[in-house]
């Protein structure tokens, strides 16, 4: 992912796995349909404390509320404000540190991300497609491997890799959407 003349570009290919079968299982309340991007169904509901969204194969994708501001999302992913003591805030910091290193993003990562994620609709898009990536890849099957209810290692390299992939999937889809709909 690179920034050229104020636009984000990244080579992107569609995953071979389709969401159609998953969509049928979700019984959605809302459905986001975007040109060139598969629809993502979701519900508003309870998610774990300190989270904005969640997903599992039985319940589908849930957002804690309908809309988030860009500032709220940035606080969430960088573990600030009300999200500073979230159980996964350290995990998010590591995921985004690796994204910055792997994608060779120079300068301030938040400034870079704000060039991509500019509106509450962009935030929703990223949250939904991050969770859809977890479902498409059946991450729940081994996400908590080795953990107990009393002790979850959020910094396990497998969890970091899963979260990084889901985040990059969502960013790639948003970039593609914006490229396809640029005026």
Asked whether residue 111 is domain-assigned, the answer is: yes
Asked whether residue 154 is domain-assigned, the answer is: yes
Asked whether residue 9 is domain-assigned, the answer is: no
Q: What is the pLDDT of residue 42?
A: 87
Residue 49 DSSP one-character state: T
Asked whether residue 136 is domain-assigned, the answer is: yes
Sheet architecture: strand order including 60-63: 30-34, 37-44, 60-63, 53-56
Instruction: Look at the chain and report how many structural domains it folds into.
Output: 1
- Calpha distance 121→119 (Å, rounded): 5
Asked whether residue 1 is domain-assigned, the answer is: no
- Calpha distance 143→41 (Å, rounded): 22
Q: What is the pLDDT of residue 40?
A: 77
Asked whether residue 6 is domain-assigned, the answer is: no
* Ramachandran category for residue 138: left, alpha or beta (phi over 0 → left; psi -120 to 50 → alpha): left
pLDDT in tens, 142-181: 899 999 988 999 999 999 999 999 999 999 999 988 888 8
pLDDT in tens, 64-85: 999 999 999 999 999 899 988 8
Q: What is the pLDDT of residue 177?
A: 87
The pLDDT of residue 120 is above 90: yes
Asked whether residue 4 is domain-assigned, the answer is: no
The pLDDT of residue 36 is above 70: no
The per-residue pLDDT of the chain, averaged, comes to 80
pLDDT in tens, 76-114: 999 899 988 888 889 999 999 999 998 888 889 999 999
Report which of 123, 112, 6, 108 is spatially closest to residue 53, judged by C-alpha positions: 123
Which tops the pLDDT comparison, 38 or 173? Answer: 173
Query: SS3 for 87?
Result: coil
Confidence at 39, pLDDT banded by 50, 70, 90: low
Range of the domain at 61: 17-180
Helix spans in 79-183 (H): 89-102, 109-116, 120-136, 157-180
Asked whether residue 11 is domain-assigned, the answer is: no
């Amino acid at each position: 992912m690179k920034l050229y003349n104020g636009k984000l570009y990244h080579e992107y290919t569609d995953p071979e796995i389709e969401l159609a079968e998953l969509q049928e299982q979700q019984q959605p309340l809302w459905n986001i349909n975007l040109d060139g991007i598969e629809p993502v169904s979701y519900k508003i509901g309870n998610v774990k404390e300190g989270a904005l969204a969640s997903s599992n194969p039985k319940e589908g994708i849930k957002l804690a509320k309908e809309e988030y501001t860009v500032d709220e999302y940035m606080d969430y992913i960088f573990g600030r404000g009300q999200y500073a003591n979230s159980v996964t805030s350290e995990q998010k910091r590591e995921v985004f540190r690796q994204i910055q290193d792997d994608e060779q993003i120079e300068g301030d990562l938040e400034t870079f991300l704000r060039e991509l994620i500019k509106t509450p609709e962009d935030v929703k898009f990223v949250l939904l497609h991050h969770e859809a990536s977890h479902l498409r890849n059946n991450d729940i099957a081994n996400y908590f491997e080795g953990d107990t209810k009393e002790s979850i290692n959020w910094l396990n390299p497998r969890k970091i890799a899963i979260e990084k992939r889901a985040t990059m999937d969502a960013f790639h889809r948003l970039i593609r959407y914006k490229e396809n709909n640029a005026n």
